[in-house]
Amino acid sequence: MTPKLFFKTFAIAETITWTLLIIGMILKYTHITEIGVRIGGGIHGFVFICFVIAVLGVGTSQMWSKKRIATGLASAIIPYATIPFERSVERTGALEGGWGLGANGRTPRNWFEKLTSWAIRSPFLAIGVGIIFVIIIFSGLLFLGPPGEWGK
């Protein structure tokens, strides 16, 4: 899988899950049902974490600036902003080519680049570890409850 396809997949998924969450919120606040927020919010939260990992991994591998990575991360917070961000990085060529830290790529310079390189070179193992990592984060967030109830 190319960095372009990998990143596009999560950018689109993030947009789709925003739609699920917004529909759920409409149903909740029109007093129809709260189940849409529970389902849509859960799915959106999971994909949000995956998108953050995609931004960090692709951005690190493809040598994006810290500003571009921060903009990518911020795009997940604003509904539907991942699509314009994805189009902008595609338009500038930041998603072109193979993985910068892949088998034929550059030598990793720090621990995060080494981790990213390992994930690119061992994708199935990385996916397994990634799923466990996302489940741990997601479970912690579920334990904390909705953001409005944190610290209460």
Contact 106, 100 (CB under 8 A): yes
Residue range 35-59: average pLDDT? 90
Spatial CA neighbour of 86 closest among 74, 95, 97: 95
Residue 53 C-beta-side C-alpha neighbours within 13 Å: 21
Residue range 99-120: average pLDDT? 90
Residues 88, 43, 17, 74, Cα dihedral to 10°:
-40
Q: What is the mean pLDDT of the chain?
A: 90
Q: What is the pLDDT of residue 36?
A: 84
DSSP 76-122: TTSTTTHHHHHHHHHHTTTT-SS-TTSTTSPPP-SHHHHHHHHHHHS
Contact 107, 18 (CB under 8 A): no
The reported pTM is 0.83
Would you say how long the chain is, in residues?
152
86 falls in which pLDDT band (50, 70, 90)?
A: very high
Q: What is the pLDDT of residue 37?
A: 87
Residue range 38-46: average pLDDT? 88
